[in-house]
Structure 1
């Protein structure tokens, strides 16, 4: 199994660890210390060594941070984790703080009225983060100071850094050689008057060099840093244990490999103007450049946008991966529908689904820990079942199954909400509204230049009509055998990145009723140029092509609530599921698929 069911959150250890941290803060003369979820690469998933937030607080969500002061320790969490955090931390010692509704700068000002110095690890915070805080807090007499990480100093058995092997990624799947990518990006640096760019995001380095790594579970990226020069030469800073002769041969003579400890001296030796991404780089990078008197210019990581706009080869590869994954999902759903209510548990769901994916003989990892939440657990948006929380699927409940696979040719992410026995009328009403929002995104056409914030409301409108909503974005970017959450594009009210052809996104509206049930429906979609329409304006239009082909449970739909166009879309989608997936599944699954895709 890729996924385990151990409960890694232990609230009982939090108070003693918090006390040790506060004692060290006092010794160091600090009024506070910041403990982010992030690592030096700003990755969503972190290695065990970097799981400082979880170690201190017990909270294991993929986003958040803790601000520790002498008399309060705030755990800042967004809408996805409001329910989960209350289960995982000691509420007598840690205080959940709704974020971003409550900004850290205001919270610190309120709780440090006498001022003071707040320490932070400069490897774990970006220039934008620190600049925003410093500007807001200076008038309050609160200063920020870079400091050795206090959590590391009190963590006696902190794991060693990961040293997973780095491997080449086939150019025929990438659609472009790393030599061509480096030359293209180096030319852009030259045109901007910049001599080099510091690249710190692990997936950017993996994309640029056509390599993959194994330093963290779920996301096949290496922990490394890189400096790309305007002559297309690149210096890769990676542990020697990760590198072998095949990788050296793949990278060639224009990529120099050096140990991570050589990064700071290399920064000091740079000349000209160096690009640094203020949103993703550790602020330590800028501090080192400033110390050496090296000029820097703020600019986006040069890999981010090119990486997001997939090549035709990447789209073709991930299309095949999604069809393979859909066949595994259909085999799983065939099994699921044969299980009487009350006979299986959430862990049974996870293990069986992973088994179906493994049976493809192509699964390299799951793309994230499967979310399989039944009843009230379904309302925990990022629920992770453990041996302690494992719940039986009983008559009348819903189960949210959000899962995905990592294949050499693609990364998948799909959510289906399923009934256990006969669903209730309220659940069906809510499900139908979520489905209407998902269909609205799937059907939309939009002019070039629009961003995710311009489309997000389409997915929410059917819910808003009933006074309902959901506390997460409608969709996130997705990589191709890279990270399941990939920027910069999103379907979200806060995303201003224009959508471009080749960008892959999730389309996943939901609804969550705490203590009762959860609903989410998710397909992956890719932006492409829309077909011309008779009588249309002479303007460039985009739409979405669906990548995910797995039936949506018809037992949860109230057809009377749906418009004719919505029903037509669903029937055409189900016909496509049947046509594309039937040749790929067993006889039993083919029979199930035929029944599951009957027209409404």
Structure 2
């Protein structure tokens, strides 16, 4: 914790040099993604908080870290309360905190590369309300004092072949460029690495768990494009793949290319484009139009090749999970069987796959009370032995060349209490209700969210995270624009979209339960007056029936579970050795 105090002092000294009263430290990098390269982990370096979403506000005499409901317990463990207030960003928003701590004439600074216009809007309003000013810093103050900051990543880029992508990049560029032309826009600037990866059919490894290359791109209405990436990441095979219509520049050339768009109409996605870029375009007298990233929807709606790849990836991933669960069932309680050793076992089984590239996120391995920390990250210091009696939650996934997986299972060790079984079954009922629903085309995830929570609500229970996030095809494991959440969504669920189904329950200091499958939206083959959609389960892995209170399930729910388990058994048995297949047969016996 001494490091945190000295780093905070160094930051304040840097602020003083440039007469700034405060500095904003977001979790984001220049691309606004969930995962960032080690050189961009500024929030973690300063505060110790390692979650995927957060913000620090540092003033001369006060400092605070803001996290959402997924990370409140984690922040209590990781952030030194003597240096930073720990705030829930919903209960005590950063803007409100600023209104209480800023005063007239003060200047709050920020790095315009790390923020978007919308992300700064409320903070700017808070400053103006008390007579303070929000201004760009002359440079990033963290970078100036982080003396051993890692170098930017240089992972080689590889082509993403048609056998995985299903569509050529020429086809994609032509489709998106036609939309630009239709809206009389000259160019679209792309800053999201997953959009760039999808559009150009390339993959990289610049950030953990996500196979993308960091860079920027400009797509023009004639379907040509400029790609801004370090040339050291691009070999001749990639240049041949990209062809002549995609011009490659060093990242430092981006400013000049933006200036050349003077008087042109340029499309930006406001929620992800760095403020630096939009301000540069405005200064160049470009006509900036804020609109959706035109890659987002076609990327979300997987084509037949991508859906097939997701199915095959999930089959192999399910086999790895079964091998893991059988191994785990044979391990007696003891210090050697702990959160860390167990997660390493699962990670190793996944990595044996020939198409394995990386994990889709760091495995969440939570025993007993650690299972109640929604995005818990195990370490040697925090690792608990798995309980002799109780619950163990494991949330994990893989990045394979043909698809991305994400699965959560909650495992009963020994005997579960009546309360645990009640909560487990209510979470399962929500999972089944959502997974088995049919809905008309045009329905959003926010309209379905209540299905996953209903059984919990009837007992006065709930959970503080979304029910479902979008998932990419060998891309981001958390990827919009689709989602299933209490939060309103304007994006309707549509054919080919992959989304998670993951209700949960968390009892602080005791245990956590989450049951997650990935599902793909498909057309529902039924006679109806309207076009109807439904979910296809991609994830293939048994649920632990030892956690179920069967008396709480309806006959329809029992039928759903038995049918799902039969499908799991039928599809995975050919991939397993006799011992694992026998365990699976027992684990999927009908209720």
How many Å apart are 1:25 and its aligned residue?
A: 1.6
Counterpart residue number, 2:435 = 442
1:488 matched to 2:481: yes
Partner of 2:282: 290
Pairs within 5 Å for 1:100-179 = 100-147=90-137, 148-179=139-170
For structure 2, the 5+ residue unaligned runs are none
In the other structure, the counterpart of 1:512 is: 506
1:137, distance to aligned residue in structure 2 (A): 3.4
Structure-2 residue corresponding to 1:333: 325
Alignment of 1:407-486 (within 5 A): 407-486=400-479
Indicate if the aligned counterparts of 1:12 and 1:90 stay in contact, CA closer than 8 A. Answer: no
Rounded to whole Å, the distance in 2 between the matches of 1:495 and 1:38 is: 23
Alpha-carbon distance in structure 2 between the residues aligned to 1:592 and 1:502 = 33
CA distance in 1 between counterparts of 2:349 and 2:119 reads 43
Could you say what the CA RMSD is over the residues aligned between the two structures, in angstroms? 1.1
Instruction: Compute the TM-score of the two structures, normalised by the length of structure 2.
Output: 0.98
Query: Which residue number in structure 2 is paired with residue 204 of structure 1?
Result: 195
Output the CA distance in 2 between the equivalents of 1:380 and 1:365: 24
* Offset of residue 115 of structure 1: 4.8
Q: CA deviation at 1:540?
A: 1.6
- Say which of 570, 590, 596 aligns to 2:561: 570
SS of aligned partner of 1:446: strand
How many angstroms apart in 2 are the aligned matches of 1:89 and 1:104? Answer: 17
Q: Which residue, 207, 221, 226 being the options, matches 2:212? A: 221
Please list, as runs of the form range in 1=range in 2, the aligned pairs for 1:375-390 lying within 5 A after superposition.
375-390=368-383
SS at 2:533 equivalent = strand
Structure 2 contact 54–68 (Cα < 8 Å) conserved: yes
**Helix, strand or coil at the partner of 1:486:** coil
* 1:366 pairs with one of 359, 368, 392: 359
Residue correspondence of structure 1 range 40-51 to structure 2 within 5 A: 40-51=30-41
Q: Hey, what's the Cα distance between the residues in 1 that align with 2:323 and 2:135?
A: 55
Instruction: Tell me the residue number matched to 1:4.
Output: none
CA contact (8 A) 2:102 2:127 kept: no
CA contact (8 A) 2:98 2:123 kept: no
Match of 2:238 in 1: 247
CA distance in 2, matches of 1:100, 1:124: 21
Match of 2:526 among 521, 524, 532: 532
**In structure 1, the residue corresponding to 2:480 is in which secondary structure?**
strand
Q: 2:535 aligns with which of 536, 544, 551?
A: 544
Instruction: Name the counterpart of 1:588.
Output: 579
Query: Is residue 323 from structure 1 mapped to residue 333 from structure 2 by the alignment?
Result: no
State the distance in 1 between where 2:294 and 2:27 align. Answer: 24
Contact 1:175 1:312 in 2 (8 A): yes
Structure 1: 4+ residue segments shifted above 3 A: none
In 2, Cα distance between the equivalents of 1:456 and 1:115?
45
Residue 114 of structure 1 deviates from its aligned partner by 3.2
CA distance in 1, matches of 2:568, 2:352: 20
The farther-off stretch of 182-191 and 16-25 is: 16-25
Secondary structure, aligned partner of 1:80: coil
Is the contact between residue 489 and residue 495 of structure 1 (CA under 8 Å) also seen in structure 2?
A: no
1:7 alignment counterpart: none
The Cα shift of 1:102 comes to 2.5
- CA distance in structure 2 between the partners assigned to 1:362 and 1:64 by the alignment: 33
CA distance in 2, matches of 1:21, 1:354: 38
Query: How far apart are 1:495 and its partner, in Å?
Result: 4.0
Find the aligned partners of 2:554 and 2:105 in 1 and give their Cα distance. 59
Deviation at 1:362, TM superposition (A): 2.7
Q: Is the 8 A contact 2:98 2:126 kept in 1?
A: no
Q: C-alpha displacement at 1:120, in angstroms?
A: 0.5
Q: Residue 197 of structure 1 aligns to a residue in which SS? A: strand
Alignment partners' CA distance in 1, 2:570 and 2:306: 23
Question: Of 179, 193, 197, which aligns to 1:188?
Answer: 179
Name which of structure 1's ranges 360-369 and 42-51 shifts more when overlaid on structure 2.
360-369
Contact 2:99/2:129 (<8 A) preserved: no
- Match of residue 314, structure 1, among 306, 315, 323: 306
- Aligned partner of 1:92 among 68, 78, 82: 82
Deviations 1:8-36 (A, max 9, x none): xxx44111111111122222222211000
Gaps (5+ residues) in structure 1?
A: 1-10
TM-score by length of 1: 0.96
- In 2, Cα distance between the equivalents of 1:386 and 1:139? 43
- What secondary structure sits across from 1:487 in the alignment? coil
For residue 591 of structure 1, report the CA deviation from its aligned partner: 0.4
Q: Report the count of equivalent residues.
A: 587
SS at match of 2:569: helix
Distance 2:310 2:3 in 1: 43
